Amino acid sequence: MAIPKVAAIHDLSGLGKCSLTAAIPILAVCGVQAVPMPTAVLSNQTAFESYTGADLSIYMPMIAEEWKKRRAEFQGIFTGYLSSEQEVKWVEGFIDEFRKEDTLILVDPVLGDEGKFYRGFGDEMCCAMRNLCKKADVITPNLTEALFLLGKDAALAEQGEPLEIVEQYAKELSKLGPSTVIITGIHQGENIWNVGFDAVNKECFSVSTRKIGEGYSGTGDILSSVVCGCMVRGESAHQALEKAAKLLEASIAEAVEDGTDPNEGIAFEHHLKLLMD
């Protein structure tokens, strides 16, 4: 089988093992080619105390134009952290232009965590992301992002909502359009749960990992990259989520053992082999 291609629309951050530095190796190990559309080049992800970088949004239309000339076809389009509402809007147009019948559209609606927006984001970005989610087949918000997208109080994420309620949230979000919704990072006692809803089979599924260490950079991006790679190669969302949880658990455990700064991300490189079968 020819190697499937996924247009991966994320930033390229030097330190922090998130966005493209997670997506490229993870898709590769799944047997999928990441075709990067870098939205920005940054020294590091934005949760470090400072960062520098260059916004590449003016180049994105030119890159897309060249891809059109090459007649590039994608079996997946995968978006994550986007830096402005205009960029989100542009990505909608990119999806309209490049989507084929069999293209899996995965939108990770990166907006915030722990009940709060990330630096520079607010209600307008949330509104833009909600519109982008309407174009997706799969979305992977964390609980904070799910609450923002539903217009609910995101502070509820801090308490960790009961799983039955989160299943309801996943069902509500699927009404925006995506046939699969995976809500990640629900804290319950010793575990962190990820709750999915498959609107085609009308089935909920959930997968947990042991809660270890602190909130590490890039874990959401790693989860969505695994889901993207596994689903593009034909696995179900549930199977994909199981693999993502295994990779996260092993990689977080190693980061804890190494005493890694949470901003630096987790030791996923040593565990990519978990995705090989």
Residue count of the chain, please give it.
277
42 binds ligand PXL (CB under 6 A): yes
Taking residues 65 to 104 in sequence order and writing x for each that binds ligand PXL by CB under 6 A, - otherwise, the string is ----------------x-----------------------
Give the bridge partners for 53, in sequence order: 42
19 binds ligand PXL (CB under 6 A): yes
Q: Can you tell me the distance from the alpha carbon of 55 to that of 58, in angstroms, rounded to the nearest whole number?
A: 8
Please, is 101 exposed, middle or buried when counting C-beta atoms within 10 Å of its C-beta (0-12, 13-18, 19+)?
exposed
Q: Of 21, 33, 46, 209, which one interacts with ligand PXL (CB under 6 A)? A: 46
The tokens describing 96, both together, are 């309209």
Q: Of 7, 18, 56, 125, which one interacts with ligand PXL (CB under 6 A)? A: 18
140 binds ligand PXL (CB under 6 A): no
Please, is 162 exposed, middle or buried when counting C-beta atoms within 10 Å of its C-beta (0-12, 13-18, 19+)?
exposed
Longest dimension (CA), the chain: 53
Taking residues 98 to 127 in sequence order and writing x for each that binds ligand PXL by CB under 6 A, - otherwise, the string is ------------x-------x---------
- Least distance in angstroms from the C-beta of 25 to ligand PXL: 15
Residues numbered 197 to 236 that lie near ligand PXL (CB under 6 A) are: 218, 220-221
Q: Which is nearer to ligand PXL, 69 or 119 (CB)?
A: 119
Q: Can you tell me the distance from the alpha carbon of 114 to that of 257, in angstroms, rounded to the nearest whole number?
A: 24
Q: Which is nearer to ligand PXL, 59 or 234 (CB)?
A: 59
Residues numbered 181 to 200 that lie near ligand PXL (CB under 6 A) are: none
From 38-46, 93-101, 127-135, 181-189, give the range in contact with ligand PXL by CB under 6 A.
38-46
Q: Which is nearer to ligand PXL, 33 or 46 (CB)?
A: 46
Q: Of 21, 33, 45, 209, which one interacts with ligand PXL (CB under 6 A)? A: 45
Q: Which is nearer to ligand PXL, 37 or 204 (CB)?
A: 37
Long-range contacts: 112-117, Cβ < 8 Å, 24+? 112/144, 112/145, 112/148, 112/154, 113/142, 113/144, 113/145, 113/185, 113/215, 113/220, 114/144, 114/157, 114/158, 114/215, 115/144, 115/154, 115/155, 115/156, 115/157, 115/158, 116/144, 116/154, 117/148
Q: Which is nearer to ligand PXL, 98 or 118 (CB)?
A: 118
253 binds ligand PXL (CB under 6 A): no
Distance of CA 146 to the CA centre of its chain: 13
Q: Which is nearer to ligand PXL, 41 or 256 (CB)?
A: 41
Binding site for ligand PXL (CB under 6 A): 11, 13, 18-19, 42, 45-47, 81, 110, 118, 218, 220-221
